Structure 1
Amino acid sequence: MMNDAQQLPDDAPARRDRDAYLAGLAEHLRAHGLPADRVEVTVTDLAAHLEESGATDAEAEFGPADEFAELLVPATGERARQAPGERVQTWRWTADTYGDEELLNRFGDEGWEVERVDALGRFVSHRDLAQPQRWEYRRELITRGREHLDERLAPDGWEACGNWVIYAWYKRPRAASLGPAAQVQAPPPVPDRSSFFSRKFFVLLGVLAVAAVVAGVSVAVDDGDAGSGAGFVVGLFAGAGAVAALAWALQAWRGRRP
């Protein structure tokens, strides 16, 4: 009787070939001037695609690495992925709640459709270069689940496209209201930035830090012990930094929480 190792095919050579292809593609992308973080995102996305599709031959799936790299880094600098029968740009970006809805609609008007919100809190968006269409978005507060909200918004064409804790985002194509005018005739390049944090957000971080320091200094002064007071003040400044860091981390993770 054959054991499991004998029954299962050895896919190690295929995986080695796939990894070698992706490593070579990364080198070509860097040579074309794509930033290191975008190279990593691109290669990770492609590796996930190969895993999900079950494709074992990366070159057969995407073509020669050098030619594929040229498709992924067009002259405008954005990342585009060649899908069967179409050319699609993919862009991940984040913003805080002071401006996310406005930005969603601004970029939606440029043809960006949000697919989902990823684990790092970014809007994963794509744009069909062959026929880019305008999209509109809205954000809703959800506290008791969103099932009924989905049902209520669906008749008006709204489709859920992402959520985080107490917020949900919805999208719908503007073709229903604009008709042929919903097509973007000359889509602008992908924005140079991928993070859009407002001044209000940074002011909020400052207020949190100052409030923590002021409260701590007051406690230290009331204590009456200069030594413990000094130590407490030092600890307070460290604590204030921790508060700001925590707020920043939460904002960066979800990318849009005030």
Structure 2
Amino acid sequence: MSYFEDLAALLRQEGVPSDRVEATVADLAAHLEESGGADPEAEFGPVDEFARELVPAGGQEPEVPEAHVETWRWTADTYVDEELLNRFGGEGWEVERVDALGRFVSHRDLERPQRWEYRRELVTRGREGLDERLAPEGWEACGNWIVYAWFKRPLAASLGPGAEISAPPGVPGRWRFFSRRFYVLAGVAALAVVLAGVAVAVDDGDADSGFGFAGGLFVGALVPLAAVWGLQVWRSRR
């Protein structure tokens, strides 16, 4: 079987619902295609280890009544994620978790939407009792990604009835939110790759091949950035 077939089988063995398995595998396959990766094992690691990372506690997804909620998945860079979480939390979006692709899986009650607030914490050595320290203030863990952990709490505790939203805005028309600082950082990284290529080529003593190599690196660095930018613009105009 293929990598994704093996992954799906392992997730089902752990009790993950079939519809959740199919959605997860589809997300991962789309991510692999967008990133240009040819080998899923090189991208995600050994299939058995990756399956264990994807399995939620107890093997089940958080239970959310489907009849009265709307769902939305979105992502942002770490320069703006906390600000956006609180903005969207003020519109009634509650984050359930952060998925394998680093997206915030959110839902909102259609009948009685409530306001939420969020905070992000850096966790470089594990959680180290972080959950216990924040729990007395009403904070509840709602997701992890690499070295970050996010926490949520309802504003009803401090605002009372004012935390309920009478007329929430519609679902945002886009799902990627990248700041200018993110694009600047990506550009700097691309430039560093080009400069490294030039340095290597100059050391080889062949100027022509060096400039060709550097040009190839430059174009290669711009292609994914242009694709991301173009996709974001297209989605924002839909």
TM-score tier by shorter-chain length is 0.5 to 0.7
State the partner residue of 1:195. Answer: 176
Q: 2:144, 2:116 → 1: CA distance?
A: 18
State the partner residue of 1:143. Answer: 124
Letter paired with 1:153:
L
State the partner residue of 2:113. Answer: 132
**C-alpha deviations, 1:158-215, integer Å up to 9, x for none?**
0000001110000000011101101011111111111111111111111111122123
Residue 211 of structure 1: SS of its match in structure 2?
A: helix
| The one of 205, 208, 220 aligned to 2:186 | 205
| The one of 84, 89, 92 aligned to 2:73 | 92
Structure scoring higher RCO (CA < 8 A, sep ≥ 6) equals 1
| The one of 150, 153, 158 aligned to 1:172 | 153
Q: Report if the CA contact (8 A) 2:191-2:218 is conserved.
A: no
Aligned residues: 169
CA RMSD of aligned residues (A): 3.0
TM score, norm. by length of structure 1: 0.58
Q: 2:114, 2:214 → 1: CA distance?
A: 56
Q: 1:230, 1:173 → 2: CA distance?
A: 57
State the partner residue of 2:46. Answer: none
Q: Report if the CA contact (8 A) 1:114-1:126 is conserved.
A: yes
Q: 1:196, 1:229 → 2: CA distance?
A: 37
Residue 102 of structure 1: SS of its match in structure 2?
A: helix
Bigger Rg, structure 1 or 2: 1
Q: 1:231 to 1:86 in 2, by over 3 A?
A: closer
Q: 2:177, 2:66 → 1: CA distance?
A: 33
Give unmatched runs, 5+ long, in structure 2: 1-21, 27-63, 230-238
Q: Report if the CA contact (8 A) 1:111-1:134 is conserved.
A: yes
Return the offset for 1:241: 5.5
Q: 2:194, 2:202 → 1: CA distance?
A: 12
Q: 5 Å matches for 1:152-167?
A: 152-167=133-148
Residue 95 of structure 2: SS of its match in structure 1?
A: strand
Return the offset for 1:228: 4.3
| The one of 205, 213, 218 aligned to 1:237 | 218
Q: 2:83, 2:162 → 1: CA distance?
A: 21
Residue 210 of structure 2: SS of its match in structure 1?
A: helix
Return the offset for 1:229: 2.7
Residue 165 of structure 2: SS of its match in structure 1?
A: coil
Q: Report if the CA contact (8 A) 1:208-1:244 is conserved.
A: no
Letter paired with 1:237:
F
**C-alpha deviations, 1:133-174, integer Å up to 9, x for none?**
100000000011115000000010000000011100000000
| The one of 128, 152, 164 aligned to 1:183 | 164
Moved more, 177-186 or 220-229: 220-229
Return the offset for 1:221: 2.8
Q: Report if the CA contact (8 A) 1:208-1:243 is conserved.
A: no
Q: 2:213, 2:152 → 1: CA distance?
A: 50
Residue 79 of structure 2: SS of its match in structure 1?
A: coil
Give unmatched runs, 5+ long, in structure 1: 1-40, 46-82, 249-258
TM score, norm. by length of structure 2: 0.62
Q: 1:102, 1:91 → 2: CA distance?
A: 17
Q: 1:85, 1:95 → 2: CA distance?
A: 26
% same residue: 73
